């Protein structure tokens, strides 16, 4: 609602001469002198308060059934929300494979008379409406449409092959939590399309004409043969074993002097492995760009890399998949400072930031970071308790924590693999959950290294550091950086986000060793506890955490020598 109404500047003299004669306008800058938004909100509120309009009538996300599908005069309690899922296998071979794991699925032929539409077709399709205009259907991913003819089911956006390579990881698509029937405390029901259609929320395209043949004649998803199915693998165990082996890479400096034609000849060599071929294709991207047409082949370098990523995805060679997809359009700048993402970004802006900081290479770091961002986002929404004590997520230290966990864990899920880039997306997500779960029992040094990489601190840590800073007139010195008492206490409050960022940035910048960083956190907690129990203590000089830890180490070492000598005297 508007905060005030005003008289425009051009009509002030008329208002002065005749008060109340001019029209007052709201303070909204809508470009329209007639204010309708506030009146519309008031009318809607009156209708809802009178009972003529229900909350589900304003539900734009369509979480509730339309009015014509709800029971009339029902006094029963509202049923719990149930998400109905139908798994579609692209071939009979994939359907049989899923059945061995107890997962029920259907092929496109078995869902008839329901037809399946890919999301891209539904988004790009233009149909005629009664007014004679051509109207696009828009994004209807994961929904059931009812128009002229049989029902249409639009596939979710996840199952578009060109969007992301997570589809190749079957464990990622069909997780154990989905097999159990519950996802984020919401009931998930797996079944056949024909059985779930009666209770599904159907979007009626009433504006289409009955004689609209374009809607009926749109092509549907066809069932693939066994030869074309990307999951129709005769030796599943043999292909799965590729993922845990060390990929072979070449030293690109040995072929830097070769011209582009020689590189193309090496790429077409049958004896060369997939990893070196991907490296040579990246060299062509650096020289000529991704649109460079390979001699003797009617395809560009980008198309060859995409084909190679699909082949590597079928073979579960995740390091090559990430490397093949990581061909940026701009060169990386190694001297750029860290960038803090504190607001939502578009995928294009995020990719530009990642590829500007991380160069292409066998590590596939820019692509791996996209995985981590997706996983972290889903975990924050699902189980925010895992992020307790973590105020800022630093991606590079997070990868270091994953490497530490992978080098020390003995979980059969990872199959003995010790290289992060060779893990499947599902295993990477499981590893993230493992390091975020602070209830895991680990060796203290191992736990300090992980907590230091994650910058995890105890509850009330930054408020305690603020109290230590109040007692230290000379400030707190961490490494070579001094956090001064003033102007920090004057400009920032105890719970100020700027103060949290300043302390955490200092800890991350001045201490490269994550275990030492975590010990500094513990030392500050101890100092705060001492000052809390003894409020009369005041430190005139600055409190140096590194010197305190060195002194504690010397005391611990002397006590150990004394204990050894005492045992010898006995």
pLDDT of 240 above 50: no
List the one residue out of 330, 315, 318, 313 whose CA is nearest residue 429: 318
pLDDT of 395 above 60: yes
d(CA 339, CA 341): 6
> Which string of b and e fits 144-176 if b means at least 16 CB within 10 Å?
bbebeeebbbbbeeebeeeebbbbbbbebebee
- Residue 432: pLDDT band (50, 70, 90) is very high
pLDDT of 25 above 50: yes
Three-class SS string for 74-139?
Answer: CCCCCCCCEEEECCECCCHHHHHHHHHCCCCCECCCCCCCCEEECHHHHHHCEEECCCCCEEECCC
pLDDT of residue 228: 47
pLDDT of 236 above 50: no
Q: Which residue has the higher pLDDT, 61 or 517?
A: 517
Select, from the ranges 24-28, 56-60, 126-130, 426-430, the one with the highest average predicted confidence (pLDDT): 426-430
Give the residue extent of every domain in the chain.
Answer: 5-53, 83-216, 252-319, 363-454, 461-569
- Residue 27: pLDDT band (50, 70, 90) is low
List the one residue out of 428, 439, 435, 474 whose CA is nearest residue 451: 435
d(CA 459, CA 438): 13
Q: Which residue has the higher pLDDT, 504 or 551?
A: 504
Task: Tell me the average pLDDT of the chain.
Answer: 74
Q: Which residue has the higher pLDDT, 567 or 24?
A: 24
pLDDT of 558 above 70: no
pLDDT of 128 above 70: no
d(CA 400, CA 417): 16
Average pLDDT over residues 473-501: 82
Cβ(218)–Cβ(117) under 8 Å? yes
pLDDT of residue 415: 67
pLDDT of 131 above 70: no
- Residue 276: pLDDT band (50, 70, 90) is confident
- Residue 243: pLDDT band (50, 70, 90) is very low
- Residue 134: pLDDT band (50, 70, 90) is very low
Q: Which residue has the higher pLDDT, 168 or 569?
A: 168
Select, from the ranges 63-72, 205-214, 517-526, the one with the highest average predicted confidence (pLDDT): 517-526
d(CA 52, CA 58): 12
Least confident of 68-82, 364-378, 435-449, 457-471: 68-82
Are β-strands 202-204 and 144-146 bridged in parallel, bridged antiparallel, or unpaired? Answer: parallel
d(CA 500, CA 208): 57
pLDDT of 77 above 70: no
| Token pair 């008379």 in the structure block, residue | 113
Region of 495 (left: φ > 0; alpha: ψ -120 to 50; beta: rest) is alpha
d(CA 351, CA 326): 10
d(CA 282, CA 263): 11
pLDDT of residue 9: 84
Q: Which residue has the higher pLDDT, 194 or 234?
A: 194
Return the number of other C-beta atoms located less than 10 Å from residue 82's C-beta: 13
pLDDT of residue 69: 52
CA distances from 447 to 262, 407, 451, 535 (A): 50, 13, 6, 32
Distance of CA 442 to the CA centre of its chain: 27
d(CA 329, CA 285): 9
Average pLDDT over residues 397-406: 90
* DSSP H or E segment with residue 188: strand 186-190
Write out pLDDT tens, residues 248-269. 777 777 887 888 888 888 888 8
In the sheet with 202-204, reading across from the earlier edge strand, the strands are 115-117, 152-154, 144-146, 202-204
CA dihedral angle for residue 457, residue 462, residue 468, residue 470, rounded to 10 degrees: 170
Cα atoms found within 13 Å of the Cα of residue 150, Cβ hemisphere only: 15
Cβ(249)–Cβ(422) under 8 Å? no
CA distances from 276 to 255, 266, 284, 300, 455 (A): 11, 9, 13, 18, 37
pLDDT of residue 235: 42
Distance of CA 379 to the CA centre of its chain: 9
Task: Tell me the backbone φ, ψ of residue 443, rounded to 5 degrees.
Answer: -65, 140
pLDDT of residue 544: 62
pLDDT of 274 above 70: yes
pLDDT of 408 above 70: yes
pLDDT of residue 59: 67
* DSSP H or E segment with residue 183: strand 182-183
Q: Which residue has the higher pLDDT, 175 or 130?
A: 175
Average pLDDT over residues 384-397: 88
d(CA 244, CA 504): 36
């Amino acid at each position: 609602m508007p905060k005030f109404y005003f008289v425009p500047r051009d009509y002030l003299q008329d208002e002065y001469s005749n008060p109340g004669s001019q029209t007052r306008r709201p303070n909204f800058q809508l470009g329209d002198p007639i204010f309708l938004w506030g009146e519309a909100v008031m009318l809607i509120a009156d209708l809802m308060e009178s009972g003529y309009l229900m909350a589900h009538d304003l539900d734009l996300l369509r979480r509730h059934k339309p009015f014509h599908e709800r029971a009339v005069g029902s006094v029963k309690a509202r049923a719990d929300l149930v998400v109905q899922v139908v798994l579609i296998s692209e071939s009979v071979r994939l359907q049989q494979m899923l059945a061995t794991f107890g997962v029920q699925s259907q092929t496109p032929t078995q869902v008839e008379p329901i037809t399946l539409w890919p999301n891209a077709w539904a988004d790009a399709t233009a149909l005629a409406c009664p007014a004679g205009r051509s109207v696009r259907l828009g994004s209807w991913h994961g929904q059931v449409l009812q128009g002229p003819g049989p029902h249409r089911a639009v596939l979710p956006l996840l199952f578009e092959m060109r969007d992301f390579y997570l589809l190749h990881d079957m464990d990622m698509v069909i997780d154990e939590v989905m097999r159990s029937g519950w996802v984020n405390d919401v009931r998930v029901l797996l079944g056949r399309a024909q059985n779930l259609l009666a209770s599904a929320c159907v979007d009626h395209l009433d504006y289409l004409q009955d004689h609209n043949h374009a809607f009926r004649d749109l092509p549907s998803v066809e069932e693939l043969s066994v030869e074309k199915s990307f999951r129709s693998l005769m030796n599943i165990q043999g292909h799965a074993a590729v993922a845990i082996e060390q990929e072979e890479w070449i030293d690109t400096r040995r072929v830097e002097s070769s011209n582009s034609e020689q590189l193309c000849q090496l790429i077409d060599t049958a004896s060369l492995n997939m990893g070196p071929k991907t490296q040579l294709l990246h060299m062509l991207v650096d020289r000529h760009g991704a649109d460079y047409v390979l001699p003797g082949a009617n395809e560009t370098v980008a198309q060859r890399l995409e084909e190679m990523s699909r082949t590597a995805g079928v073979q579960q060679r995740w390091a090559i998949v990430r490397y093949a997809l990581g061909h940026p359009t701009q060169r990386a700048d190694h001297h750029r400072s860290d960038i803090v993402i504190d607001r939502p970004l578009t995928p294009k802006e995020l990719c530009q930031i990642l590829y500007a900081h991380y160069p292409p290479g066998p590590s596939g770091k820019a692509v791996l970071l996209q995985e981590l961002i997706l996983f972290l986002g889903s975990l924050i929404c699902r189980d925010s308790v895992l992020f307790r004590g973590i105020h800022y997520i630093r991606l590079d230290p997070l990868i270091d924590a994953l490497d530490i966990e992978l080098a020390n864990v003995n979980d059969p899920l990872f199959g003995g693999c010790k290289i992060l880039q060779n893990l499947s997306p599902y295993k990477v997500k499981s590893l993230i959950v493992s390091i975020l779960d602070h209830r895991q029992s680990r060796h203290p040094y191992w736990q300090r290294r992980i907590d230091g990489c994650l910058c995890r601190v105890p509850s009330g840590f930054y408020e305690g550091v603020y109290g230590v800073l109040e007692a230290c007139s000379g400030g707190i010195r961490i490494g070579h950086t001094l956090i001064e008492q003033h102007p920090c206490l004057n400009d920032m409050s105890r719970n100020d986000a700027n103060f949290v960022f300043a302390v955490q940035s200092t800890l991350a910048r001045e201490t490269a060793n994550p275990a030492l960083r975590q010990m500094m956190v513990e030392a500050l907690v101890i100092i705060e506890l001492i000052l809390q129990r003894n409020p009369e203590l005041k430190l005139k000089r600055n409190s140096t955490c590194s010197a305190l830890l060195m002194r504690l180490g010397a005391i611990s070492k002397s006590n150990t020598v004394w204990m050894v000598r005492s045992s010898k005297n006995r």
